């Protein structure tokens, strides 16, 4: 299987911050609708596709939303004040470009500060490069959201892009659906909403489906760069089988299932313990009377920045592992 650069680029470029997942949902629907038995959108906006079977019910989940910013106030001079939608550190935002749903762009600037360490959201503003407050007031309103802007770039090995978290998980499920082979398993592919603000879509999707097991697909950090994160996971180390994060201790049966399937199918894998963060599996494993759950993670550098980096080989191993779970 080759890495499908166009598919990844298109997914990364969909404008879909939390609660505004329409663009990416429509894009994914078009990609998969001819390959599945059922497809629907639930009340919160989760996209749920199904390959029907009479066997065990498996739920795979990847979230469609990306972190973003929301306008809180447009000031007299035409500068935009904003707050975060999802986990964003104000200290890292200076100079980031942002893009709105209407295509307009801006840059994040700071009021004059004596010490850069003191940066907080209420010292920052977005400059949309206009000298006309009227123009700004016409085109930007309280509640409008924007996302980080950066250009998709690819090397022989890796991809640099925005919203790899979690469009790469969506990519893996799309490719898994397209390469599905017949099985008894009843498979639900959930493309969830609002993960970045607390796995809200996963709560209702998990409850509605009530699966026998759940596997989330999401990015994880790595310990192989110089950013100080101490962990075992590295780029090109294979699919990362999560053992624990802040939202989940992987069920022993799921750890064994994923490990054995990886071994039997010659899929390169590594184990992951993440000391921060969580995924949709955290929300789904406590739904109804409980769902044994785990996560297949994609090792990713620079999480929640405008330029996340992942390795194409790891992605291909993750797709193989998803389809191995489907077929067992
Ligand atoms: Co995230
Ligand atoms: Zn994520």
d(CA 111, CA 131): 18
92 is catalytic: no
Q: Is 108:124 a contact under the CB 8 Å cutoff? A: yes
What CATH number is given to the structural domain containing 113? 2.40.30.40
Q: Tokens 């990519």 map to which residue?
A: 171
Statement to judge: residues 55 and 170 lie in one domain: yes
Band the pLDDT of 117: cuts 50, 70, 90. Answer: confident
Band the pLDDT of 322: cuts 50, 70, 90. Answer: very high
Query: Which ligand is nearest to the Cα of residue 219, counting in written order?
Result: 2
What 8-state DSSP symbol labels residue 277?
A: -
Cα-to-centroid distance, 301 and ligand 1 (Å):
12
Cα-to-centroid distance, 147 and ligand 1 (Å):
13
Residue 196 lies in a domain: yes
Band the pLDDT of 36: cuts 50, 70, 90. Answer: very high
d(CA 124, CA 99): 16
pLDDT, average across residues 307-311:
98
- pLDDT value for 113: 86
Statement to judge: residues 314 and 192 lie in one domain: yes
- pLDDT value for 256: 98
140: left (phi over 0), alpha (psi -120 to 50) or beta: beta
Residue-range definition of the domain harbouring residue 315: 5-66+162-327
Residue 13 lies in a domain: yes
Statement to judge: residues 289 and 237 lie in one domain: yes
- DSSP-derived secondary structure for 58-91: EEEEEE--B-EEEEEEE-TTSPEEEEEESS--GG
Statement to judge: residues 46 and 10 lie in one domain: yes
Statement to judge: residues 113 and 178 lie in one domain: no
- pLDDT at 118 exceeding the cut of 90: no
Number of domains in the chain: 2
Residue 155 lies in a domain: no
- pLDDT value for 282: 98
Statement to judge: residues 112 and 227 lie in one domain: no
Q: Between residues 115 and 319, which one has the greater pLDDT? A: 319
Residues of the chain with pLDDT > 90, as a percent, come to: 97
Cα-to-centroid distance, 166 and ligand 1 (Å):
7
Residue 194 lies in a domain: yes
d(CA 188, CA 194): 18
Last residue of a domain, one of 121, 148, 175: 148
pLDDT, average across residues 228-241:
96
Residue 117 lies in a domain: yes
Residue 299 lies in a domain: yes
Choose the catalytic residue: 195, 196, 308, 317. 195
- pLDDT at 116 exceeding the cut of 90: no
pLDDT, average across residues 262-280:
97
13-22, 45-54, 109-118, 303-312: least confident range = 109-118
Statement to judge: residues 221 and 128 lie in one domain: no
Last residue of a domain, one of 101, 118, 148: 148
Last residue of a domain, one of 148, 181, 200: 148
Statement to judge: residues 178 and 275 lie in one domain: yes
What CATH number is given to the structural domain containing 45? 3.40.630.10
pLDDT, average across residues 170-199:
97
Statement to judge: residues 200 and 295 lie in one domain: yes
Q: Is 60:188 a contact under the CB 8 Å cutoff? A: yes
Statement to judge: residues 102 and 178 lie in one domain: no
- pLDDT value for 114: 80
Cα-to-centroid distance, 67 and ligand 2 (Å):
9
Residues of the chain with pLDDT > 70, as a percent, come to: 100
All residues at 6 or more sequence positions from 289 whose CB lies less than 8 Å from its CB, including other chains: none
Per-residue burial over 276-296, b = 16 or more CB atoms within 10 Å of its CB, e = otherwise: ebbbbbbbbbebeeebbbbbb
Q: Tokens 């994040």 map to which residue?
A: 108
Statement to judge: residues 51 and 188 lie in one domain: yes
Cα-to-centroid distance, 221 and ligand 2 (Å):
11
Residue 153 lies in a domain: no
Average pLDDT, the chain: 97
The per-residue pLDDT for range 63-108, each reduced to its tens digit, is: 999 999 999 999 999 999 999 999 999 999 999 999 999 999 999 9
Statement to judge: residues 216 and 322 lie in one domain: yes
Residue 154 lies in a domain: no
């Amino acid at each position: 299987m080759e890495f499908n650069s166009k598919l990844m680029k298109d997914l990364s470029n969909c404008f879909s911050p939390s609660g505004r997942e329409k663009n990416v949902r429509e894009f994914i629907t078009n990609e998969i609708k001819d390959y599945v038995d059922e497809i629907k959108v639930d009340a919160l906006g989760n996209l749920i596709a199904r390959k029907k079977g009479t066997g065990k019910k498996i739920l795979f989940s990847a979230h469609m939303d990306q972190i973003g910013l929301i306008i809180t106030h447009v000031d007299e001079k035409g500068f935009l004040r904003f707050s975060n939608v999802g986990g964003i550190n104000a200290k890292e935002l200076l100079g980031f470009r942002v893009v709105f749903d209407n295509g307009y762009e801006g840059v994040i600037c700071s009021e004059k500060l004596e010490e850069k360490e003191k940066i907080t959201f209420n010292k920052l503003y977005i400059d949309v490069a206009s000298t006309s407050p009227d123009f700004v007031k016409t085109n930007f309103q309280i509640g409008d959201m924007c996302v980080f802007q950066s250009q998709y770039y690819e090397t022989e090995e890796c991809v640099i892009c925005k919203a790899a978290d979690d469009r790469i998980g969506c990519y893996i499920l799309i490719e898994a659906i397209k390469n599905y082979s017949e099985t008894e398993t009843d498979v639900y592919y959930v493309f969830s909403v609002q993960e970045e603000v607390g796995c809200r879509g996963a709560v209702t999707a998990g409850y509605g489906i009530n699966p026998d097991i759940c596997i989330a697909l999401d990015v994880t950090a790595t310990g192989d760069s110089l950013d100080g994160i101490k962990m075992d996971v590295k780029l090109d180390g294979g699919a990362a089988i999560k053992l624990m994060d802040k939202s989940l201790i992987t069920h022993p049966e799921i750890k064994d299932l994923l490990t054995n399937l990886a071994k039997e199918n010659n899929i390169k894998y590594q184990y992951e313990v993440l000391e921060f963060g969580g995924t949709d599996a955290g929300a789904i494993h406590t739904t109804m009377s409980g769902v044994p759950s785990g996560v297949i993670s994609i090792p990713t550098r620079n999480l929640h920045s405008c330029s996340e980096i992942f390795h194409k080989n790891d992605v291909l191993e993750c797709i193989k592992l998803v389809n191995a779970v489907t077929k067992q």
